[in-house]
Structure 1
Amino acid sequence: MAEAGRPGTPRLRLYLDLIRWNRPAGWLLLLWPTLSALWIAADGFPGWHLLAVFTLGTVLMRSAGCCVNDVADREFDRHVKRTAQRPVTTGAVSVPEALALGAVLALLAFGLVLTTNAPTILLSFAALAIAIAYPYAKRLVSMPQAVLGVAFSFGIPMAFSAVLGGAQWHWRAVADAVPPHAWWLLASNLFWVLAYDTEYAMVDRDDDIRIGIRTSALTLGRFDVAGVTAFYGVHLVSWAVVGWSLGLGGWFLGGIAAAAAQVAWHWTLIRHRTREGCFTAFRLNHWVGFAVFAGTVVDLALR
């Protein structure tokens, strides 16, 4: 079969390459904190409907985000070895084609949201706006990973809203449906995104310097490893404090401890700043989120 980006490549394969279908780590990074929030909001199993909505919605929106990101970054990506063969960058998939695919995926995700409630539907518009804004943030801010952190964490308040929200169509209803601790969890998760996406940015450091892209890895400079470690620490400590304050106990803290052990291993992978080590740490980060999710599920199940 022809390689992606070469003439004769089947359209379906190009589309699957565009949405990173063969790299599920991307949507797993969104999924685990969202499901953790869903379980916390429901004080246990949230039901098959909401589980399906947020699982499928996460996959669809991450895929749609890849389409928008690759269109926005197509001129930069051609100068980075890791991204030079992406379908939009090579021209195998046109810009209108990629945007159309992204729009279809986003509409499918919105169809799922429509089965929830009014506050969650309202929040979905804010989530979409942030997701669209992220690819352009690296042109404007020195740590665009913070914008990505908000985008990747927005499933948390939406999960609370889906469980606790009613039928009122106004923003006050959103405030009533999303308790303060949901926003604290969003802020906590933002630091996890800063940690793993800085590891990701460390992979492309040399290319990003050459083409003028702004990233947290470049902003932190020689303090990048220390910064990543601090981001992890803030995330795990704050998530543990919020969970403990909500009555989660030993199994939950066991999940936090399992995540912390992985963070210690990640430090050994990134401390020498090799491309291979940094990319491995990034690629396996979803297990950090899974550890926290598993601890949450077991703790709530054994209450």
Structure 2
Amino acid sequence: MTQASGRVADSVGNWVDTLAPDWSRPYLRLARADRPIGSWLLLLPCWWSAAIAAIAGGNAYPNLWHVIAFAMGAVVMRGAGCTWNDLVDRDLDAMVERTRSRPLPSGQTTAKRAAVFLVAQALVGFAILLTFNGFAIFLGVASLGVVAIYPFMKRFTWWPQIGLGLAFSWGALMGWACAFGRLDWPALLLYAGSIAWVIGYDTIYAHQDREDDALIGVKSTARLFAGKTAQALVGFYAAAVVLIGTAITFAGGGAAAFSGLALFAAHLGWQITRLDIDNPSLCWKLFHSNREAGLLLFAGLCLDAVLKAAS
């Protein structure tokens, strides 16, 4: 399979396949540029945290540079994380129908070139990180430990989704740290709530690979919960709503913030009612819809900051 002809089975017909230069396609696929949903899900806790910091600080809106920098950082660091994941999992990916067409197992590029690409992405992310205060820089660097460990977790624990939650929720700490140069209860509670949210949506995602994972011995909460997934999601999503609501309370949030949280909660409830764990296409759509859930919460938080500053 050549670089030009290679496509990824679960992401076909996107802009990378049709518009990107042939030489760039394997690297854009490694970074999941053909599937931006992961960047959104990494970004949203950053934006929530920046918005809650604005509420707590009495500002009408989150720091605009932080909002922009988090967006850029989410794209490059999600790309770096996916590249690292693909390097670690290239042999496992070759045994799974949905992932065997990824750039490394399909031969679109080599592990050495992927490693160089990984370093390049990480350096861009570090350059963005250097624009923040010293505490936030330290906190951002600390996140790399969680990111490094995550791909190995599914080999030895039924709970790799916790590892993803720890990594993908780190932005819930960063927004507050960038604003105040420290961590306080609102950020810690938001982080915990985001972890519960990530465990929930990534369990839905993992049901796409449940049968292949069982054949090759890969563990996940999708396999662990199996037919009781809906009940488990009720617990995780409820925990997310309660913890995020407590974070909003501690930050001094008002009616608009809680209205955004209510819409977020309603969307999570809708996901549970629609879930069919034996329908991979539906699992993907429900997983993907968490972007809209997160944006509803962010909109409520931003509106609350505006109203609070104007009062």
Assess same fold via TM > 0.5: yes
**Residue 28 of structure 1, CA deviation:** 0.5
Structure 2 stretches lacking a partner, 5+ long: 9-20
2:77 corresponds in structure 1 to 61
More deviation, 272-281/285-294: 272-281
Letter of the aligned partner of 2:154 in structure 1? K
* Alpha-carbon separation, structure 2, partners of 1:285 and 1:293: 12
Q: Alignment RMSD, CA only?
A: 1.6
Aligned with 1:244: secondary structure? helix
The structure with higher relative contact order (CA 8 Å, sep 6+) is 2
Q: Do the aligned residues in 2 keep the contact of 1:201 with 1:217 (CA within 8 Å)?
A: yes
TM-score in terms of structure 1 length: 0.91
* Alpha-carbon separation, structure 2, partners of 1:90 and 1:240: 45
2:307 corresponds in structure 1 to 302
Equivalenced residue count is 289
**Selected match of 1:247 from 235, 240, 252:** 252
**Selected match of 1:203 from 208, 215, 222:** 208
Q: Report whether the alignment pairs 1:27 with 2:39.
A: yes
Aligned with 1:73: secondary structure? helix
TM-score in terms of structure 2 length: 0.89
**Residue 181 of structure 1, CA deviation:** 2.3
1:4 corresponds in structure 2 to 7
1:17 corresponds in structure 2 to 29
**Residue 264 of structure 1, CA deviation:** 2.4
Identity %: 34
Structure 1 residues 192-242: Cα deviation after superposition (integer angstroms, max 9, x where no partner): 000000001111110100010010111223322211222111101221122
* Alpha-carbon separation, structure 1, partners of 2:290 and 2:51: 21
* Alpha-carbon separation, structure 1, partners of 2:76 and 2:86: 16
2:142 corresponds in structure 1 to 126
**Residue 35 of structure 1, CA deviation:** 0.6
Letter of the aligned partner of 1:4 in structure 2? R
Q: Do the aligned residues in 2 keep the contact of 1:19 with 1:64 (CA within 8 Å)?
A: yes
More deviation, 10-19/46-55: 46-55
1:291 corresponds in structure 2 to 296
More deviation, 44-53/132-141: 44-53
1:173 corresponds in structure 2 to none
Q: Do the aligned residues in 2 keep the contact of 1:202 with 1:273 (CA within 8 Å)?
A: yes
Relative to structure 1, the CA distance from residue 272 to residue 103 in structure 2 (aligned partners, 3 Å threshold; closer, same or farther) is closer
Aligned with 1:88: secondary structure? coil
Structure 1 stretches lacking a partner, 5+ long: 166-176
